[in-house]
């Protein structure tokens, strides 16, 4: 899929400008949000993203490329995405709504320290995985990491670091087999690409051999995430994946090659 034509255009919603004049305004007010979603941080050159950014070492609450997602689109308060991603999502949300499909963001940007908290809770057993305390049931570090990796990313490797990726409606694939969930998923499969979104963790098959299991809820804004993925693969090495419990398994698991790169080819 080629979305490069979007990089140099303003993706702002009606009335918003591309000048950044609204940059500091909060996007929380639902009645005002359609005029305040401004796109002003689209990469216009190669080598746009820093190594630190690529591994999630930033604060989305203070980074001007990010904005708070208006609550009407979310299951809870306090979630952030890059501004371009929000603008594209709002268009998709409105189109879906017209067809009776209610999209809801249930998780958005998670930076390195947030992902580290999730990972280490599972690693140390304070958060059970399939009802088990993995620190007691799986002593081998690589095997323990593999189980956590079935659905959680290693800190420094998550697409949720990028401000382009979000989880929609439910974190269970089974939900998307229910009447309501199926309607949502079928709509996304048919229409999300027109708004720039793609499902990176599609069903595993001959085109996607490695990486996370299928996640019908996880959608990515490709005009940006494809650029970020490319830069990630150029700049981040296994030795950069460090600073959390179990980090020593990253190299053995070939984490970048298998997990970061192991996405639906349509989302590259």
Site for Zn ion, residues 25 to 84, rule: CB under 5 A: none
Residues in CB range of 253: below 8 A, 6 or more apart: 142, 145, 146, 149, 259
Of 23 and 266, nearer to Zn ion (C-beta) is: 266
Among 167, 222, 263, 264, binds Zn ion (CB under 5 A): 167
Pick the stretch among 9-17, 140-148, 213-221, 248-256 that binds Zn ion (CB under 5 A): 213-221
Distances (CA, A) of 89 to 8, 13, 137, 196, 237: 18, 11, 41, 9, 31
Q: How far is the CB of 114 from Zn ion (least distance, A)?
A: 12
Report the nearest approach of Zn ion to the CB of residue 140 (Å): 26
Residue 160 Cβ vs Zn ion, minimum distance, rounded to whole Å: 6
Shortest CB 158 distance to Zn ion, Å: 8
Smallest gap from Cβ 159 to Zn ion, in A, equals: 7
For Zn ion, the closer CB: 34 or 107:
107
Print the binding letters for residues 136-155 with Zn ion: x by CB under 5 A, - otherwise.
--------------------
Nearer to Zn ion, 83 or 110 (CB): 110
Is residue 161 involved in binding Zn ion (CB under 5 A)?
no
Q: Does 218 bind Zn ion (CB under 5 A)?
A: yes
Q: For Zn ion, which stretch binds (CB under 5 A), given 109-117, 119-127, 210-218, 246-254?
A: 210-218
> Of 216 and 218, which has the nearer Cβ to Zn ion?
218
DSSP the chain: ---GGGTTS--PPTT--SSSTTTTS----TTTHHHH--------SSS-S-HHHHTT-S-TTT-TTEEEPPGGGBSSS--EEEHHHHHHHHHHHHHHHHTT----EEE----HHHHHHHHHHHHHTSS-BTTB-HHHH--SHHHHHHHHTTTSPPTT--GGGTTSEEEES-S-GGGGGSHHHHHHHHHHHHHGGGGTEE-SS---BTTB-SSSPP-TTEEEEHHHHHHHHHHHHHH--GGGS-SSTTTTHHHHTTHIIIIIS-S-GGG-
Number of residues that bind Zn ion (CB under 5 A): 2
The residue (of 167 and 231) whose beta carbon lies closer to Zn ion is 167
Residue nearest to Zn ion (CB): 218
Q: Which residues between 103 and 122 bind Zn ion (CB under 5 A)?
A: none
Question: Considering just the CA atoms, what is the radius of gyration of the chain in Å?
Answer: 18
For Zn ion, the closer CB: 84 or 167: 167
Name the site residues for Zn ion (rule: CB under 5 A): 167, 218
């Amino acid at each position: 899929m080629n979305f490069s034509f979007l990089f140099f255009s303003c993706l702002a919603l009606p009335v918003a400008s591309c000048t950044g004049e609204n940059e500091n305004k909060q996007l929380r007010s639902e009645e005002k949000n359609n005029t305040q979603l401004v796109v002003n941080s689209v990469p216009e050159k190669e080598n746009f993203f820093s190594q630190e950014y690529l591994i999630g070492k930033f604060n989305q609450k203070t980074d001007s490329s990010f904005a708070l997602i208006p609550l009407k689109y979310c299951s809870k308060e306090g979630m952030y995405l890059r501004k371009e991603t929000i603008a594209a999502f709002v268009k998709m949300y409105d189109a879906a709504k017209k067809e009776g499909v209610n999209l809801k963001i249930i998780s958005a940007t998670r930076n390195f320290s947030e992902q580290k908290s999730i990972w280490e809770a599972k690693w140390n057993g304070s958060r059970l995985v399939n009802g088990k305390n993995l620190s007691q049931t799986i002593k081998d570090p690589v095997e323990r990491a593999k189980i956590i990796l079935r659905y959680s990313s290693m800190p420094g490797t998550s697409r949720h670091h990028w401000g382009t990726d979000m989880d929609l409606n439910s974190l269970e694939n089974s939900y998307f087999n229910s009447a309501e969930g199926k309607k949502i998923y079928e709509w996304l499969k048919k229409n999300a690409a027109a708004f720039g979104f793609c499902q990176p963790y599609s069903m595993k098959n001959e085109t996607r051999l490695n990486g996370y299991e299928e996640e019908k809820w996880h959608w990515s804004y490709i005009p940006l995430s494809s650029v970020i993925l490319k830069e990630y693969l150029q700049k981040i090495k296994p030795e950069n994946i460090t600073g959390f419990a179990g980090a020593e398994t990253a190299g053995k698991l070939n984490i970048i090659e298998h997990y970061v790169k192991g996405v639906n080819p349509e989302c590259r």
